[in-house]
Amino acid sequence: MRARRLTGSLSCLVVLTLTAAGCGLSGGSDDGGATAGACKVDKGNVGSGKLTGDVKGTITFQTTNLKKDFGDFFNGVIADFEKAHAGAKVKWIDDPGDNTFTSRTVADAQACTMADVINVNAPTATALTKAGYLLDIGTKDPAASKPFVPSFWKTATFADAAGKSIHTTLPWYTGGVLLTYNKDLLAKADIDPAKPPTSIFGLFADYEKIAKASDGKYFATMANPIWRIPADFDQMGIKVLSSDGKSAVFGDDPRTTEWVEWMAKLYKEGAMPKDSLSSSNDPSTLYSQGKVAYGSTNPSFVRFVKQNSPSVYAKTAVGQQPYDDLGVASAGAPQYISVAATSKHAATALSFAEFLTNAENQTAWCKDPAVVIFPTTTESLNDPFFQNVTGTDPFSQARKLVADQLKTASTNQTNLSPAVQNAIVSQVQLAMQGKKSAADAVKDAQEKSNELLKQGS
């Protein structure tokens, strides 16, 4: 009798669990109401038509690791917004922004608990847009584009579930891209620091000169290709993904194989520390010790060297990052602000997102001495702070160089999923170790990328 009861109870448990599991698979019930992902939302948040509603109610605003250094600035912005909109309240939360950020944010979105206004990077925006968790800002406020540099706005789009590019993000700020190097180490290799190369392969040729001159005492750069993929391909104008983003095409360009051959050659010749092949360490530490000739490619790094290694800073110079056939400089990967389609006060959330990214607030934050970032609004870039840089030190030069190039820079960043990026990097590493030829590595990298892209589509 007892055994029968136990069996019955367990059967019920299994049935209930499987039923619940089945519900989880179905993606939620479809009762005709508006949904974003698997969450029920206000009808006005999705579909066509401008978003309407009063700017009131409490919203949450999530940044990524900014509270510690910029608490005063953001509290000021929030206070200004609340003052301008009586009845609106903004609760600020700050995510630590570690390497699980995308996964955690996606989990929040699935649980319908994502913050109303959220700072996202490109991979997170890609995932959330595809699943329908972000407000289509371009549709909900057609005037949202006005303040932004046209190229930044044009490229701040991500594909929805149907593959259509929509504006689910407001471009917020970017770090900029430039070349940073140790003049003394370049001079030892007979490289003129005043004439930085204009192509990636030209840069590789300089790396080779350094390898030959250094005799293992210092290096040109770090080995892990993860620092260069897909940035190098973008700067060389190599198309990485097909137009619909569903297949990898970088292997079709012969320059990709040539690029891998160069990397393998440079690694073998000692232009890079051997133990950095699969290391997560960027050049910061070794550059600051004077052991690497080329540093990280952003102005923020120059300030890092200035603060942490004055002797190396004195030898540091900056130049234009090579951009080959692209024709213009790259703007680097910007940060974005998005609004959750699940927001219960979407009008308030959108209003705050636009307030946060407006020219006045962007300019004010960029002027904060604790940060080295560049704005994405036209008015901010025209501010004398960026246009009249007078200093001759490397840091001022870096700021001037990036600000000058941003209005015309290419903002097209290939947006690879971490898994696809790792798949390509892994194959290049094997070629660098001499375990396969460059051609085979490129072929296998493309195959593995396509496999991942196919399973994700």
Partner 1 sequence: MTAQITNPVSGAEALTSTPGPAPSPPPSRLRRLARAALPGPAPGANGAAMYRRWWLPWLWTAPAVVCAVVFGVFPFLNTVLLSFTNAKPLGGAASFVGLDNYTRMLQDDDFWLATRNSILYAVIVVPLMVLLPLMLAVLVEKNLPGIGFFRSAFYTPVLASSVVVGLSWQWLLADDGLVNTWLEKAHLIKSAIPFLSDSWLILLSAMGLTLWKGLGWYMVFYLAALGNVPKELHEAAQMDGAGAVRRFFHITVPGVRTAMMLVGTLTGIGSLRVFTEIYMLGSSTGGPGGADRTLPFYIRDVGLDPITGNAGYGSAVSVALFALTLGLTLLAQRLTKEDES
Q: CB 452 → partner 1: shortest distance, Å? A: 4
> What single DSSP character describes residue 121?
-
Q: How many CA atoms lie within 13 A of 139 on its CB side?
A: 15
Query: In sequence order, what DSSP letters do the residues of 291-307 get, joined into one string?
Result: -BSB--SSHHHHHHHHH
Closest CB to partner 1 among residues 222, 347: 222
Of 15-23, 197-205, 258-266, 403-411, which segment contacts partner 1 by CB under 8 A? Answer: 15-23
Instruction: Tell whether residue 273 is a contact of partner 1 (CB under 8 A).
Output: yes
The dihedrals phi and psi of 230, each to the nearest 5 degrees, come to -100, 10
Beta carbon of residue 389, minimum distance to partner 1 (angstroms, whole number):
36
Nearer to partner 1, 150 or 434 (CB): 434
Binding of partner 1 by 106 (CB under 8 A):
yes
Phi-psi region of 328 (alpha: psi -120 to 50; beta: other; left: phi over 0): beta
Residue pointed to by tokens 């001037």: 400
Name the strand (E) or helix (H) holding 401.
helix 394-406
Q: Does 419 bind partner 1 (CB under 8 A)?
A: yes
What six digits make up the tokens of 319? 């130049």
Q: Which two tokens stand for residue 173?
A: 């700020």
The candidate with the shortest Cα–Cα distance to 158, out of 350, 445, 417, is 417
What distance in Å separates the CA atoms of residue 101 and residue 421, rounded to the nearest whole number? 17
392 binds partner 1 (CB under 8 A): no
Among residues 70 and 101, whose Cβ is nearest to partner 1?
101
Q: Is 20 near partner 1 (CB under 8 A)?
A: yes
Instruction: Considering only the stretches 53-61, 193-201, 267-275, 331-339, report the one whose residues sit in contact with partner 1 under the rule CB under 8 A.
Output: 267-275
The reply on whether position 102 binds partner 1 by CB under 8 A is yes
Q: Should residue 112 be labelled a site residue for partner 1 when binding is judged by CB under 8 A?
A: no
Asked whether position 38 contacts partner 1 by CB under 8 A, the answer is yes
- Which C-beta is closer to partner 1: that of 186 or that of 286? 286
Shortest reach from residue 156's CB to partner 1, in Å: 17
Stretch that binds partner 1, among 101-109, 141-149, 169-177, 232-240 (CB under 8 A): 101-109
**Cα separation of the two ends of the chain:** 52
- Tokens representing 294? 């080329």
Stretch that binds partner 1, among 136-144, 258-266, 354-362, 420-428 (CB under 8 A): 420-428
Q: Is residue 429 part of the contact set for partner 1 (CB under 8 A)? A: yes
Under the binding rule (CB under 8 A), the answer on residue 242 touching partner 1 is no
φ and ψ at residue 411, rounded to 5 degrees:
-105, 10
How many Cα atoms sit within 13 Å of 233 on the Cβ side? 27
Touching partner 1, residues 113-132 (CB under 8 A): 123-124, 126-127, 130-131
User: How many chain residues are in contact with partner 1, going by CB under 8 A?
Assistant: 58
Torsion sign (Cα): 318, 322, 323, 328: positive
Residue with smaller CB distance to partner 1, 106 or 371: 106
SS3 assignment, position 248: strand
Binder to partner 1 among 27, 202, 254, 391 (CB under 8 A)?
A: 27
CA distance 133 to 125: 9
* Separation CA 99–CA 373 (nearest Å): 21
Question: Could you tell me which stretch among 68-76, 102-110, 294-302, 339-347 binds partner 1 (CB under 8 A)?
Answer: 102-110
d(CA 294, CA 286): 10
∠ Cα 260 127 363 (to 5°): 85
Give least dist CB 27 to partner 1, A: 5
Q: How far is CA 243 from CA 141, 204, 233, 249, in A?
A: 27, 29, 15, 10
- Return the range that interacts with partner 1 (CB under 8 A); candidates 271-279, 353-361, 367-375, 387-395: 271-279
**335 close to 174: Cβ distance less than 8 angstroms:** yes
**In the numeric block, which tokens belong to residue 424?**
């390509």
Selected range binding partner 1 among 25-33, 81-89, 360-368, 398-406, rule: CB under 8 A: 25-33
Q: Which of 24, 87, 96, 142 binds partner 1 (CB under 8 A)?
A: 24
Residue 280 near partner 1 by CB under 8 A: yes
In the complex with partner 1, the residue whose CB is nearer, 146 or 435, is 435
- Using CB under 8 A as the binding rule, whether residue 4 contacts partner 1 is answered as no
- How far CA 35 is from CA of 31, 32, 41, in Å, comes to 10, 9, 5
Ranges within 154-183 binding partner 1 (CB under 8 A): 161
Q: Which residues bind partner 1 (CB under 8 A)?
A: 2, 5, 9, 13-14, 17-18, 20-22, 24-27, 37-38, 99, 102-103, 106, 109-110, 123-124, 126-127, 130-131, 161, 224, 226, 273-281, 417-420, 422-423, 425-427, 429-430, 432-433, 435, 452-453, 455-456
